[in-house]
Amino acid sequence: MRRALLCACLWTACLAGCGGEGTRSLTPPDGKPAKAPRMSPDGLSIAYVLDGATDQVMVVSLDGASSRMLKEAPAITSVAWSPDGAKVYYASSEGIGWVPSAGGAATVVTATTTAARIDVSADGSALVFDNQAASSPLFALDLTRAGLPPLELSVRGSAPRFSRDGKRVAFIKSNATATLAVLDLTTRAVTDLLDTAAANPALAWSSDSAFIAYVSGRGIETMVVASRSHHQVAGEPRATHLDLHANGTILYVVDGRPDIYLF
């Protein structure tokens, strides 16, 4: 059953000093862990996974005033918005599918049951995902033609994200140093950017595809792709998921904490 589960009184919003200077947080009700947060294209809502005996795809307003459940399924690992904000894609042990962001029936797009993290291209034509097994290939799925199987890409890694121009996929290599790399989708060339030493790989592109935010062994950092210059923006080396909205807001969650952080 799909219904609004939460109200403003059940959410705790911390406006400053929650995860560092300039950071605010949203705490789900009952302290249940939130994971894999992604901000909506209009910047007004956050889709995330509420951890539990049966996981739930949730959407909460940015001020925490309203929240609704979109989908219940076992072992939901990640979510991603369609470019127009009308759909929320999810990966679970039932497959990869989508559900209307306003609520409604879910549609399964592929029966793949082991996807870990998913991302949808800026034009909505493709979806990329990794696998829960270590050192597995990345896969791409054509969303414009139903029934096609996922296409195995030529790289192995995790946490794949499309650049906003749709020409590249950034990912974390499955090696000892968790190398941040970029796959050119036209030439299939791979460029290594730097070793992140991240325990929990996560990354996101800027809206102009000029820089990448990522988790390293030191915390959350950003890198200008052309010059490879980088600097730390938050001391959160235990961050497990990361998103970067076009308005500049960074969202993340931290291993062992229930909150969604924004700065």
Instruction: Report the CATH number at residue 13.
Output: 2.120.10.30
* pLDDT tens-place string over residues 178-217: 999 999 999 999 999 999 999 889 999 999 999 999 999 9
- Write phi, then psi, for 10 (nearest 5 degrees): -95, -10
Which residue type is seen at 201? Answer: P
The confidence score (pLDDT) of residue 2 equals 34
Please give the mean pLDDT across all residues of the chain.
Answer: 90
Domain count, the chain: 1
Residue 12 lies in a domain: yes
Q: Let me know if residue 1 belongs to a domain.
A: no
Domain contains 158:
yes
Q: Give a yes or no: residue 110 inside a domain.
A: yes
Res 28: pLDDT: 79
Task: Output the pLDDT for position 1.
Answer: 32
pLDDT value at position 12? Answer: 53
pLDDT given at position 133: 85
| Residue 64 · residue 34 · CB < 8 Å | no
pLDDT at 65: 85
Q: What is the pLDDT of residue 27?
A: 86
pLDDT at 14 over 60: no
Instruction: Return the residue matching tokens 């000093």.
Output: 17
Strand ranges (E), 74-226:
78-81, 87-92, 95-100, 107-110, 115-120, 126-131, 137-142, 151-162, 168-173, 179-184, 190-195, 203-205, 211-215, 220-224
pLDDT in tens, 40-55: 999 999 999 998 889 9
Residue 215 belongs to domain spanning: 6-262
Q: Is residue 238 part of a domain?
A: yes
Q: What is the mean pLDDT of residues 7-23?
A: 48
**Residue with the two structure tokens 């791979």:** 190
Out of 19-23, 52-56, 95-99, 230-234, which region has the weakest mean confidence (pLDDT)? 19-23
162 found inside a domain: yes
- Which tokens belong to 147? 């029934």
Q: Is 250 a member of any domain?
A: yes
Is residue 252 within 8 A of residue 241, CB to CB? The reply is: yes
What's the confidence (pLDDT) of residue 134? 78
